[in-house]
Amino acid sequence: MERNWSTSKHKMSRYTKILAIVSVLIMLTVIGFAVAIIGFNYDGVSQNTREKLVEKDARTVLDFGLTGETSAKNAQSIVLLSNAAWKSEISASIQHTLSTTRTVANQVNFAGKTYDKKTVMSDLANHYMQTLQTDRDYSIQKVSFDKYHNAKVNYIVTPIDLPAAQKKVQNDVDKILKHDVGSLEKLKSSQIRLVEYGMISDNWDRVLQGKVPTADKKSGQFNLLYSSQWRSPSYQATKANLNQILNTGLSE
């Protein structure tokens, strides 16, 4: 009986040791896993997967930022804005710039036509938007990551020269207005400006015929913020990023 008890104690002691070793190994694994997650931001996603995701999402952000629209299915989860919302913001910015750089009258009658500031600015901004939505020549030069897997994207783009486009149409409008100098002399400078903007809008498509002036290539960069639920990585761009991209896509 003592022999059996001794054998049983030996087995229990061996099982206890094995259990202790297993427990220690599990604990070390958990600690190591926690250190990897907290210290090295390990999230179960390979760097190769992140790089492919950034390359794809960066193009979506560039398309959206430069042209105001994108056809990518997951676009709204990346840029957090709809095509309509971004276009509306760009249009509002254009109208604000046009209205604040020079004083413009609210309404004027000229050559049998009534020009209303709100309508003229909206129409002209729409022409600008259509011009902006021309496919842009850009290329991604470099993508780098920080320790939190956020990405910095460096790119080069050929800007659209909106001032040159407007000047081209303005020159054509000036030729038309030469025949109405007498009528123009009766108007205030702010009213003349409204007439000019109205006629630029009316003649935009006829003069440019889809040929958009461009400027020298410009370099730019933007950040993509990383987030991940286990093995489901995603990137997002902020509105500030979109404004940066829009500005590099336009000539100064």
pTM for this prediction = 0.75
- Rounded distance between C-alpha atoms, residue 86 and residue 25, angstroms: 54
Q: Quick one: pLDDT at residue 36?
A: 40
Q: Quick one: pLDDT at residue 34?
A: 40
Q: Quick one: pLDDT at residue 16?
A: 62
- Rounded distance between C-alpha atoms, residue 123 and residue 126, angstroms: 5
Q: Quick one: pLDDT at residue 30?
A: 42
For residue 223, what are the β-bridge partners?
152
User: What value, to the nearest 5°, has the Cα angle with vertex 163 and ends 58 and 109?
Assistant: 125
Query: What is the three-state SS of the chain?
Result: CHHHHHHHHHHHHHHHHHHHHHHHHHHHHHHHHHHHHHHHCCCCCCHHHHHHHHHHHHHHHHHHHHHCCCCCCCHHHHHCCCHHHHHHHHHHHHHHHHHHHCCCCCEEEECCEEEEHHHHHHHHHHHHHHHHCCCCCEEEEEEEECCCCCEEEEEEECCECHHHHHHHHHHHHHHHHHHHHHHHCCCCHHHHHHHHHHHHHHHHHHHHCCCCCECCCEEEEEEEEEEEECCEEEEECCHHHHHHHHHHCECC
For residue 153, what are the β-bridge partners?
143, 222
- Rounded distance between C-alpha atoms, residue 61 and residue 224, angstroms: 9
Residuewise pLDDT in 10s, the chain (252 residues): 555 545 555 555 655 655 555 454 445 444 443 434 444 455 668 888 889 999 999 999 999 999 888 888 888 889 988 888 888 888 888 888 777 777 899 999 998 899 999 999 999 989 988 888 877 789 999 999 998 999 999 999 999 998 899 999 999 999 999 988 888 889 999 999 999 999 999 999 999 998 889 999 999 999 999 988 766 788 999 999 999 999 898 886
